[in-house]
Amino acid sequence: MGKHGLMREAPMVSVVIPTYNRKDMLKECLDSLFNQTYPKDKYEIIVVNDGSTDGTEEVLKEYAKKAPCAFKWFTQQNKGSYAARNLGIKNAKGEIICFTDDDCIADKRWLEELVKGFTDEGIGGVGGRIIAYNPRKIVEEYAKLDQEEAIKGKFYPSFLLTCNAAYRKDILENCGYFDPYFRSGGDVDMGIRVTWKGYKLKYAPDAIVYHKYRTTFMGFIKQRYAYGTGCSRLGKKYFHFPLLEIFILLIFKLGLNIILILKILGSKDKKKELSERFLNILSIFFYLIGIINGYLLQDYPKDKVVKDKIESLTLFKNKIRLGKRNDDKSIR
């Protein structure tokens, strides 16, 4: 980075990908990263194998031989994606660390567009647009709509989704890396800590990845449950995190969806709306179960609890209150 943070030449970038038992998806992800417009001598790819048992190591050996850029991988016991990302960060040479997941395919200009977002030193992280990859099943279509809503303003600029995000390495180090106690919700936690340090998070709509969403009801339910446990962990880590408000809002939304689904049952030609409301109910219900079980059954170290009042948490609470007022328009 040059004076005032403006980049006069392409900075060195490290792409970190955690992977676990998705070797076929990983191949497509790596193929897309090999095909980037960013200068090949200015980026490296780091894959962290989080204890896979499906032959991922053989895939990594194969791709190391044909990589057009620097390529390395590490293997650890299964500790979760955030612990895997930390291992990648610690072994990264880049001044900017870009993150994606093994179930994503990056647009060829992905790295170029993410890096362009770092226009000054006040920007700590940049997140791109996430597009559903060829959705065919109802749960994929639902996840697509859900994430589109998130990116339109519910979450940004509160945090960056780690399937399409970039941070300056020095900021990640200064924040103490991702919290390995999280299996879900660690991207929210990082957003809280980066903005707490006074940095801004920026949205770069032209930095695109195509995400393969869950295709089965069981996968969908497990994901929503995991989101709930991640939310409960945030509530345990941050004394002022609005966990109770989130819980009450979800109960409220669940009730509204149940009322609406009963109304829809009495009308004709409402199959699409009926299926969407049904998925809303499933999503909210298992998110709530995740919150309850996570809060009751999962511990968080008491010496790591943050009791400070953090501005981003206040903003997050205000968004929840705004969501309550707008529930006549959208009740996902």
pLDDT at residue 305 tops 60: yes
Tens of pLDDT along 21-34? 999 999 999 999 99
Residues 169 and 46 in one domain: yes
Complete DSSP assignment for 246-262? HHHHHHHHHHHHHHHHH
Which of 164, 189, 215 is the endpoint of a domain? Answer: 215
Higher per-residue confidence, 265 vs 162: 162
Which residues are bridge partners to 132 per DSSP?
211
Domain hosting 165: range is: 3-215
CA angle 176-180-183, nearest 5°?
135
- The conformation of residue 105, written as its DSSP 8-state character, comes to E
Confidence tier at 145 by pLDDT (50, 70, 90)? low
The pLDDT of residue 329:
42
Q: Is residue 331 included in any domain, yes or no?
A: no
Residues 188 and 58 in one domain: yes
Which of 215, 230, 265 is the endpoint of a domain? Answer: 215
Confidence tier at 115 by pLDDT (50, 70, 90)? very high
Which of 183, 215, 247 is the endpoint of a domain? Answer: 215
279 membership: H or E segment, kind and range:
helix 271-297
Alpha carbon distance 75, 19 (integer Å): 10
Higher per-residue confidence, 171 vs 153: 171
User: What's this model's pTM, rounded to 2 decimal places?
Assistant: 0.88
Between β-strands 123-132 and 104-106, what pairing exists: parallel, antiparallel or unpaired? unpaired
Asked if 183 and 76 count as a contact pair (C-beta separation under 8 A), the reply is no
Contacts of 166 (CB under 8 A, 6+ apart): 13, 96, 97, 98, 99, 114, 115, 117, 118, 125, 126, 127, 160
Q: 17, 56, 304, 104: which is closest to 189 by C-alpha?
A: 304
The pLDDT of residue 93:
97
pLDDT at residue 313 tops 50: yes
Residues 291 and 184 in one domain: no
Alpha carbon distance 143, 123 (integer Å): 29
State the amino acid at position 50 in one-letter form: D
Residues 203 and 59 in one domain: yes
Asked if 45 and 17 count as a contact pair (C-beta separation under 8 A), the reply is yes
Residues 12 and 129 in one domain: yes
The pLDDT of residue 275:
78
Tokens found for residue 34: 């090999």
Number of domains in the chain: 2
Higher per-residue confidence, 217 vs 249: 249
CA atoms within 13 A on the CB side of 195: 23
96 membership: H or E segment, kind and range:
strand 96-99
pLDDT at residue 1 tops 80: no
Residues 275 and 304 in one domain: yes
Tens of pLDDT along 53-85? 999 999 999 999 999 999 999 999 999 999 999
Alpha carbon distance 237, 273 (integer Å): 38
pLDDT at residue 50 tops 60: yes
Confidence tier at 331 by pLDDT (50, 70, 90)? very low
Residues 234 and 201 in one domain: no
Contacts of 68 (CB under 8 A, 6+ apart): 34, 40
